[in-house]
A and B are shown apart, each in its own frame.
Chain A
């Protein structure tokens, strides 16, 4: 019988917690034939990503995954062979006790945040000695050898390339979203936290010689967008034109549709962890808004990723992209940085595809987790 896995997801904010764990759960079930149970304390967050799911149900099955509401008053459940706590969430004490008592033993994993920093490799896979003789292993996703790799489904890159090569498929997908591209328009997607730097970027796009269609899925950035547009409200489907910039608000789409949106665009602004990674698999130039941390720790993480990502770019392109990312994350005027980037556009496109191919050549995170379990046995 295949091993049973369970993943615990505590939704802190936004959609990263649910997004990453839902992807992982589906992949473990679909590609590795595992019995997978996903515990989530806020099923409503999952429903945004998987509209078929019903937030009111305590238990349901979707895409081969058993989804369980993680209740505040925990009721005893037999632990799975492998227990994954996502992003260091706190497991119920009673469940930890049940894990300690279970025979055969349980593999306990903490799936950590994605970071490009060097120290990650030194911590990946290490045990953490826990009470009652349990060991918990820290599993770090990452971009380098010695880390747990990145979430990537089997055949993803091939599917993406086929889609990008199929103009009709692209047009049909956009049309289904109510989007029709005008001749010569550059297509850009924007998924971001609130950002004071947005106005400067939009002004640069509006004044640009190249027309831009900016697609904005519903989310936290809409308030800044609305202020810049000076409109009373921005509903799904709203469209506004300012100079060379056309802006369209899209609905919040499910994960596979968001992938296609990223694949369609010439440039993607993304945030956090999940959309950041999906934009890399899109093979297109990107702009990352990192999750801000209280003491500025996110800057080291941003620079660590840039150190890796910029390798192989010409000095001018690397400097331009770095300046853009820094301005965006500082919430500063983006105009000059955006303008400086335009000369390097072709190079950035090729580089994004090379980066994607290089990362896709490494084992993916789900496979690495399964291998870790096999080795542990």
Chain B
């Protein structure tokens, strides 16, 4: 069993005998050191979707599914296409990528993991840490090198996140895909 807060987008849980893929998971602190996780789920048997909330320490049974390393190849509206090392292509719908869509961009080289339910790819998981380039942000704040003062930055795919105030356009940054948060600035 795993706690709700340990589940990530793309993973599958057995809930009342049905496999549910977590399409999106949002963690929030509620009160008195407690927390909740809001999840967008899709039933892999019926295709039905639902939104749900768990206490962060609620226990869920994970389902271990087949996985294969893939890289993003191209977008063929409305499907995203990934390719494995043997040039097999796997198509996946945007809704099934919701939890990681903000990190998908043309030319990305991250080695991802496609998750299979039977023959079908039901999700793609990104590495825990990825590197992305800042396409736009306001000019760096002089004098602040602490990294504690934050500002908004836009990535090449249009996604926005908070980064340290000293980051500049063209900088490469590390992002934690579990929390979608900026980690640090890195050298290209």
Interface of A toward B, CB cutoff 8 Å: 12, 87-88, 110, 112-115, 117, 119, 122-123, 126-129, 131-133, 138, 273, 291, 293-295, 297, 300-301
**Does any Cβ of A come within 8 Å of B32's Cβ?**
yes
Closest B residue, CB atoms, query A140: B30
Interface residues of B (CB under 8 A from A): 15-16, 20, 26, 28-34, 36, 38, 41, 50-55, 58
Residues of A near B52 (CB, < 8 A) are: 126-129
Docked-complex contact B28 and A123, CB < 8 angstroms: yes
B41 contact set on A, CB distance < 8 A = 129
Given known A123-B38, A126-B53, A127-B52, contact A87–B32 (CB-CB < 8 A): yes
Please, could you name 30 A-B residue pairs with CB atoms under 8 Å apart, sorted by A?
A12-B32, A87-B31, A87-B32, A88-B30, A110-B55, A112-B31, A112-B36, A113-B31, A113-B32, A113-B34, A117-B28, A119-B28, A119-B38, A123-B28, A126-B38, A126-B51, A126-B53, A127-B50, A127-B53, A128-B53, A128-B54, A128-B58, A129-B41, A129-B50, A138-B53, A273-B31, A293-B29, A293-B33, A294-B33, A297-B29
A291 in contact with B32 (CB, 8 Å): yes
A56 to B36, CA, bound (A): 35
| Residue among B38, B51, B52, B54 with the highest chain A CB neighbour number at 10 A | B52
Whose C-beta in chain A lies nearest to the C-beta of B15? A129
Contact of A293 among B32, B51, B58 (CB under 8 A): B32
Give the residue name and chain of the A residue nearest to B34 (CB): A88
In the A-B complex, the 4 residue pairs with the closest CB atoms: A113-B31, A297-B29, A138-B53, A126-B53
**Chain B residues within 8 Å of A132, by CB:** 16
Give Cα A169 to B28, complex, Å.
Answer: 45
**Which chain B residues border A113 with CB–CB below 8 Å?**
30-32, 34
Q: Which residues of A contact B26 (CB under 8 A)?
A: 119, 122
CA of A273 to CA of B32, assembled, Å:
11
- Which A-chain residue is minimally distant from B16 (CB atoms)? A133
- Rounded to whole Å, the gap between the CB of A137 and the closest CB of chain B is 9
Q: What's the minimum C-beta distance from A88 to chain B, rounded to whole angstroms?
A: 5
- Which residues of chain B are near A127, meaning CB under 8 Å? 50, 52-53
CB of A173, distance to nearest CB on chain B (Å): 32
Enumerate chain A residues within 8 angstroms of B30, measured Cβ to Cβ: 88, 112-113, 115
> CA of A149 to CA of B16 in the docked complex: distance in angstroms?
32
User: B178 → chain A, closest Cβ, in Å?
Assistant: 16
Max chain A CB contacts within 10 Å: which of B20, B33, B36, B53?
B53
Which chain A residues lie closer than 8 Å to B55 at the CB level?
A: 88, 110, 128
Residue of B whose beta carbon sits closest to that of A296: B29
Within the complex, the shortest CB–CB distance from A6 to chain B, in Å, comes to: 20
Which of A128, A132, A293: most chain B Cβ within 10 A? A128
Check A122 against B32 for contact (C-beta < 8 Å): no
Determine the distance from Cα of A291 to Cα of B34 in the docked complex, in whole angstroms. 12
Q: A91 CA to B38 CA in the complex, in Å?
A: 21
Bound: A110/B55 CA distance, A: 10
CA gap between A113 and B26 in the complex, in Å = 17
CA distance A165 to B55 in the complex (A): 45
A-side contacts of B34, CB under 8 Å: 87-88, 113
Q: A112-B36, A114-B31, A129-B52 are in contact. List 4 more A-B contacts (CB 8 A).
A: A122-B26, A126-B53, A273-B31, A291-B32
Q: How far is the CA of A112 from the CA of B54 in the complex (A)?
A: 12
Contacts of B33 in A (CB 8 A): 293-294, 297
Q: Which residues of B contact A114 (CB under 8 A)?
A: 31
List the B residue with the shortest CB-CB distance to A16. Answer: B32
Chain B neighbourhood of A88, CB < 8 A? 30, 34, 55
